[in-house]
Structure 1
Amino acid sequence: MKYAFLLSAVAVAISAVPAVAQDTAAPKAVTVSGSVGLVSDYRFRGVSQSDENTAIQGGFTIAHESGVYIGTWGSNLSGWGTFGGANMELDLIAGYKFPVAGGTLDVGATWYMYPGGYDNTDFIEPYVKLSGTAGPVSLTAGVAYAPKQEALGAWSANGTVAANVDYANGTGYSNPGAKGDNLYIWGDAAAAIPNTGLTAKAHIGASSGNKGLGPFATSVAPTGNYADWLLGVDYAVPSTPLTLGVAYVDTNITDRKAAYLQPSFSRGQDGVGSIAGAKVVFSLTAAF
């Protein structure tokens, strides 16, 4: 979260007049920050959630000087009505940040919601993130663990089962009511490129646990185990709150395994293309 500080200058003695310290503006106890953006493809941990189509996203965070914060973030999804009718993801976030070993430790949880959908498609995922710097490079390492929940269970044995479930009546699942968990470990790095306005960025992550599509084809890592990565650059437009971004995103999910994902995030379940394959993603973001 962003904290704004205004440091006062100390008046220098002039002639015989005693030095007088000017007023110092106290830091705000509560700050609000956020952003709204447009992306050419919404990729969550390397997998498209928007059927490789454009998504509008945005959110905000309210932070207290103690380190406690709450926030929300949302995006549109693919348009055929996954997650029991929802075409939108809405995340509720809460956590606590505090300094440690020259860096910042962030402990919190994200509640993933799909408005208009069924309750068993929502799930919670606690996380721990440690961020700091190494010279000019900003580094973040994180671990997120979603405990056993129906949204992460393997309700459908394969993609064919998931594609033919009678969602209106909740029938046709291989193992209805199943619960699963998921572990995600990741690392991020970013560094400004001098005199260019550009920031280079990189990400690598590994998912493990969630081995199937849950109710209404929900899932986080339906192939059980896979890795995702990203390489890109951001450009901060001078004198504006805008940032332009481009990134290469990919996973090691095979085309065969990606076909299993298709009923979850593909409009019309047409099975055309891989929503887990390599893609160049463009973004335009305005921060406030």
Structure 2
Amino acid sequence: MNKFKITAAALAGLLIPFATPAAAADLGNGLSVSGGATLVSDYRFRGISQTDKRAAVQGTFTLSHSSGFYATVWGSSIDDYVYNGADQEIDLIAGYKKSFGSTTVDGGVLYYYYPGSGGINSDFFEPYLSVAQAFGPITAKVTANYAPKQAALSIGAGKEDSFYLGGDLSAAIPKSPVSLSAHLGHTFGPSYLSIGKGYTDWSLGASVAVKNFTVGVQYVDTSKHNQFVIGTRDEAKAGIVGSVGVSF
């Protein structure tokens, strides 16, 4: 997630970029497990690089029940500027997903954990809700994430909250392994997650899936150009992100 160290005191389908589709293994009694690992050329959270525009290794594991309940652990390497020297982000997710014909509703809570952040306020939770509607090979989805007022979101004015609203379009090209995607989102500020004032992010992407392997490329951009620079890099500037993932 995007938690930059702006003061002394910064994730989709859920929120995870380039999530690799996983083939779930049946455990019986309605339970199944799935997982995956992905190498990305740049970990972007809502358009902002979490790795100083360098590569990241990511992994995920999900336990789900036929009733619709699920629990996920997702992790990524990050750069130490994200939060006070932490070099990894771990997301703990609990949710419920239910389909009604071609409509799917998915809601739950994300907990962002940053081990090694030096004991300062870095961890926070964020409830989310999404509604997806399929139109043949095309799916449209709207997602809302709201993080209530928490010390970890402060930019120096006490506890603050954050709201993110995103829209996604995805399409599977018939009789091919190719899928296309488009995203538009806005982070409302001010808070750590908006790097002060709110901003807009957008992306266009394509991926190819063959068996349990997925290769993807994505163009990512934001409205915060030249407004947030670490060293010689502008973490909010447009860029091309590539990914290679495997599911198991």
Calculate the TM-score normalised by the size of structure 2: 0.84
Query: In proportion to residue count, which structure has more strand?
Result: 2
Cα separation, 2, equivalents of 1:82 and 1:225: 18
Q: 1:28/1:210 Cα in 2 relative to 1: closer, same or farther (>3 Å)?
A: farther
CA distance in 2, matches of 1:185, 1:81: 25
The aligned residue for residue 142 of structure 2 is 141
Q: Which amino acid aligns with 2:43?
A: Y
Closer, same or farther in 2 for the Cα pair 1:210/1:34, shift >3 Å? farther
The C-alpha deviation readout for 1:247-275, integer Å capped at 9, x for no partner, is 100001131x223xx3xxxxxxx2x1211
Counterpart residue number, 2:171: 191
Q: Give structure 1 stretches of 5+ with no counterpart.
A: 6-24, 156-174, 212-218, 263-269
Aligned to 1:258: 228
**What are the within-5 Å matches in structure 2 for residues 56-205 of structure 1?**
56-78=57-79, 80=80, 82-100=82-100, 102-117=102-117, 118=119, 120-155=121-156, 178-205=158-185
Structure 2 Cα separation of the partners of residues 56 and 225 of structure 1: 28
Contact 2:85 2:116 in 1 (8 A): yes
Determine which of 241, 244, 268 is the counterpart of 2:215. 244
Deviation at 1:38, TM superposition (A): 0.1
- Identify which of 234, 238, 242 aligns with 1:278: 238
Residue 71 of structure 1 deviates from its aligned partner by 0.8
Separation of aligned partners in 2, 1:104 and 1:196: 24
Between the aligned partners of 1:280 and 1:2, the Cα distance in structure 2 is: 24
Aligned partners of 1:180 and 1:209 also within 8 Å = no
| Greater helix proportion | 1
Alpha-carbon separation, structure 2, partners of 1:196 and 1:68? 31
Q: Give the Cα separation in 1 of the matches to 2:233 and 2:115.
A: 27
Letter in structure 2 aligned against 1:192? A
Is 1:235 paired with 2:208?
yes
* 8 Å CA contact 1:223, 1:253 repeated in 2: no
Deviates more, 1:117-126 or 1:55-64: 117-126
Q: Using the alignment, how far apart are the partners of 1:37 and 1:220 within structure 2?
A: 24
Q: Determine the C-alpha separation between the residues in 1 that align with 2:112 and 2:190.
A: 15
Matched to 1:258, the amino acid is F
Distance 1:182 1:222 in 2: 11
Identity %: 41
TM-score, normalised relative to structure 1: 0.73
Counterpart residue identity of residue 239, structure 2 = K
Report 1 or 2 for greater relative contact order, CA contacts < 8 Å, sequence distance ≥ 6: 2
| Aligned-residue offset at 1:209 | 2.1
Please tell me the residue identity of whatever aligns with 2:205: G
Question: Secondary structure of 1:84's match?
Answer: coil
* Structure 2 unaligned spans of 5+: 1-20
Q: Kindly report structure 1 stretches of 4+ aligned residues shifted beyond 6 Å.
A: 1-5
Q: CA RMSD in A?
A: 2.3
Which residue in the other structure is 2:15 paired with? none
Deviations 1:115-149 (A, max 9, x none): 12225100100000111201220222110000111
- Say whether residues 1:220 and 2:230 are aligned partners: no
